DNA sequence: CTTTATAGTATATAAATTTACACTATAAAG
DNA sequence: CTTTATAGTGTAAATTTATATACTATAAAG
């Protein structure tokens, strides 16, 4: 069922509910809406009933504050695609998806993060300051990037398993691969890197730089 | 003020409010809570008042359903730092921060995203499939990466302003900079790239590849 | 052994909130 | 020119909801 467009007045009511909800955490009463919009509660009620019919919200009669907004714009971030020439880039119908972290980085609950240090994964386009999302429950496949502990030292490398050995390859010719036996006790896969996020604005970069001295990163 | 921990019963009430909110979009009444928990409204009220004192929620007396949950547990992801040799990497005291998207990518509300296409920003370590976070309200500074529309075509480049001209430089020697006049009407800065996220697990990469044919990316 | 915090029952009252009903008015559609 | 959808006013009644008050009970702390 498509979302029918709201009239000007209905939009005003809808907006008020939205703002009220954000401010208070619960919806307004008919009275509260009526006061702000300077109309009668009965009139507000009529608007709500109409909007409910249009599927813009749910209105439960007999229930105080019984309003639920639908089409909650997700906390998400709209993602624009490329549009045909001449078509405005930032138009509603050029939104190809909505970004929600939970959906994008879908992994087990005990997902964790590490910051990258150094240039050993340069050719995989990972650089100092990048934040990696690591899934500790996922079994690594050959070619995937993993966080491993070698003799207690965490390190980021590409994973290749062959017979009884595991090879951890850096992505930079300057460094050499590490080869360990699968039964080696001084070695442990901490998790598989399933995502990465990088801050690019200057203020954030400064913060990261400051952090750098306080906390370590994993190379 | 630290969040004092809830007693077992308080947690039950809290959880019920949370579930009710998710199911209905508005908080429950004392009566509704009392019915489900099989206690009296007065008892529920007492719990709410206590929890409000503990800052677990806001409770507005005299207001029907006047409950707002606070401390929405952030969808946060723990970030581990590098620990002294021998110290277990994934220990509680090695958590240097918690990742929350809204804090990490702090920008104006109308933040949007675009997927990268092509290799024109290769040397800035951006590759096809990366998702960029773009702030349309931020004024670009020299050297920052921006999304611009040149003759209607969106493009990702590094921004340099000098006198009356703006230079949009790719980060790949294969491509040439674009130079436009500041007053050029066929040119518009759509926003400044303030962050990037990349999916690295295979399943996600496949999804992106499938998407690729349906929707476009911005080069 | 007394205080304090938590957890409850039970009931009447007060206040908040929704609702029904009777009307008016305007603009667009058929 | 009549119907339909929207947008209201105003009021009393019905219902929902919160609150005050008086008690009981348990466990932990001092």
Task: Give which of B176, B142, B147, B174 is closest to B159, Cα–Cα.
Answer: B142
Per the listing, tokens 């001449």 go with A86
Q: In b/e form, how buried is each residue of A51-81, taking b as 16+ CB within 10 angstroms?
A: bbebebbbbeeeebbbbbbeeeeeebbbbbb
Contacts with A17 from chain B: Cβ below 8 Å: none
pLDDT of the residue at A34: 94
Q: Who wins on pLDDT, A151 or B58?
A: B58
pLDDT of the residue at B82: 54
A122 φ, ψ to 5°? Answer: -55, -45
> Is A130 in contact with A193 (CB distance < 8 Å)?
no
Q: CB burial class (10 A; 0-12, 13-18, 19+) of residue B184?
A: middle
Q: From the CA of A164, how many Å to the nearest CA of chain B?
A: 24
Confidence of residue B155 (pLDDT cuts 50, 70, 90): confident
Kind of pairing between the strands at A178-181 and A153-162: unpaired
> Is B151 in contact with B185 (CB distance < 8 Å)?
no
Q: Largest alpha-carbon pair distance within chain A?
A: 78
Neighbours of A15 (CB within 10 A): 11
A210 φ, ψ to 5°? Answer: -65, -40
CA–C1' span, A7 to D6, in Å? 9
End-to-end CA distance of chain A: 52
Q: Which residues contact A90 (CB under 8 A, 6 or more apart)?
A: A80, B112, B136, B190
Q: What percent of chain B has pLDDT over 90?
A: 28
Confidence of residue A208 (pLDDT cuts 50, 70, 90): very low
Q: Who wins on pLDDT, B65 or A113?
A: B65
**For chain D, which bases have at least one atom within 7 A of a protein Cβ?**
6-11, 15-22
The Cα–Cα gap between B105 and A67 comes to: 31
Locate the chain B residue with the closest alpha carbon to A203: B194
Q: Which of B34-48, B63-77, B138-152 has the lowest mean pLDDT?
A: B63-77
Average pLDDT, chain B: 78
Locate the chain A residue with the closest alpha carbon to B111: A77
Take residue B144 and report the two structure tokens written for it. 């920052």
What are the pLDDT digits (tens) for A44-74? 999 999 998 888 899 999 999 999 987 554 4
Locate the chain B residue with the closest alpha carbon to A27: B26
Which stretch, A36-45, A138-147, A201-210, B90-99, has highest mean pLDDT? A36-45
Q: Where are the domains of chain A?
A: 8-69, 112-214
| Alpha-carbon distances, residue A83 vs A91, A93, A96, B139, B170 (angstroms) | 9, 9, 10, 24, 21
| Alpha-carbon distances, residue A149 vs A43, A125, A180 (angstroms) | 66, 21, 11
Take residue B105 and report the two structure tokens written for it. 């990518």
Take residue A43 and report the two structure tokens written for it. 């009139």
A39 φ, ψ to 5°? Answer: -135, 180
Mutate to test the interface with A, among B133, B148, B191 (most CBs of A within 10 A): B133
Contacts with A81 from chain B: Cβ below 8 Å: 114-115, 215-217
Per the listing, tokens 């969040």 go with B3
Q: How many CB pairs under 8 A join A and B?
A: 205
Q: What is the CATH number of domain B112-214?
A: 2.10.109.10
CA–C1' span, B57 to C7, in Å? 19
Confidence of residue B43 (pLDDT cuts 50, 70, 90): very high
Per the listing, tokens 């349309």 go with B136
The Cα–Cα gap between B86 and B97 comes to: 21
Contacts with A80 from chain B: Cβ below 8 Å: 112-114, 154, 218
pLDDT of the residue at A218: 54
Q: From the CA of A149, how many Å to the nearest CA of chain B?
A: 8
B34 φ, ψ to 5°? Answer: -60, -40
Which stretch, A188-197, B4-13, B158-167, has highest mean pLDDT? B158-167
Q: CB burial class (10 A; 0-12, 13-18, 19+) of residue B156?
A: buried
**For chain C, which bases have at least one atom within 7 A of a protein Cβ?**
6-11, 15-22
Rg (CA), chain A: 26
Contacts with A25 from chain B: Cβ below 8 Å: 27, 58, 67-69
The Cα–Cα gap between B74 and B200 comes to: 23
Alpha helix stretches (DSSP H) within B73-115: 101-104
Q: What is the CATH number of domain B8-69?
A: 1.10.10.10
Half-sphere exposure at residue B217, Cβ-oriented, CA atoms within 13 angstroms = 21
The Cα–Cα gap between B40 and B34 comes to: 5
Task: Give which of B29, B50, B49 is closest to B41, Cα–Cα.
Answer: B29
Take residue A93 and report the two structure tokens written for it. 């119908």
The Cα–Cα gap between B30 and B43 comes to: 9
Task: Give which of B100, B143, B194, B106 is closest to A199, Cα–Cα.
Answer: B194
Average pLDDT, chain A: 78
């Amino acid at each position: 069922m498509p979302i029918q467009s709201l009239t000007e007045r209905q939009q005003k009511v809808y907006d008020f509910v939205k703002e009220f909800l954000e401010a208070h955490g619960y919806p307004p009463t008919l009275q509260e809406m009526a006061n702000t919009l300077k109309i009668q509660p009965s009139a507000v009620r009529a608007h709500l009933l109409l909007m409910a019919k249009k599927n813009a919200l749910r209105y439960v009669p007999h229930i105080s504050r019984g309003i639920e907004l639908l089409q909650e714009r997700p906390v998400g971030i709209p993602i624009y695609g490329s549009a045909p020439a001449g078509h405005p880039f930032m138009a509603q119908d050029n939104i190809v998806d909505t970004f929600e972290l939970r959906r994008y980085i879908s992994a087990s609950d005990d997902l964790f993060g590490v910051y990258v240090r150094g240039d050993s994964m340069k050719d995989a386009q990972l650089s100092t300051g990048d934040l990696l999302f690591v899934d500790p429950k996922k079994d690594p496949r050959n070619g995937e990037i993993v966080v491993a502990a070698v003799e207690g030292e965490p390190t980021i490398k590409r994973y290749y398993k062959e017979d009884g050995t595991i090879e951890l390859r850096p992505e930079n010719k300057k460094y050499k691969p590490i080869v360990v036996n699968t039964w080696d006790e001084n070695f442990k896969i901490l998790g598989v890197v399933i995502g990465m996020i990088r801050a690019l604005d200057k203020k954030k970069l400064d913060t990261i730089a400051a952090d750098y001295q306080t906390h370590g990163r994993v190379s």
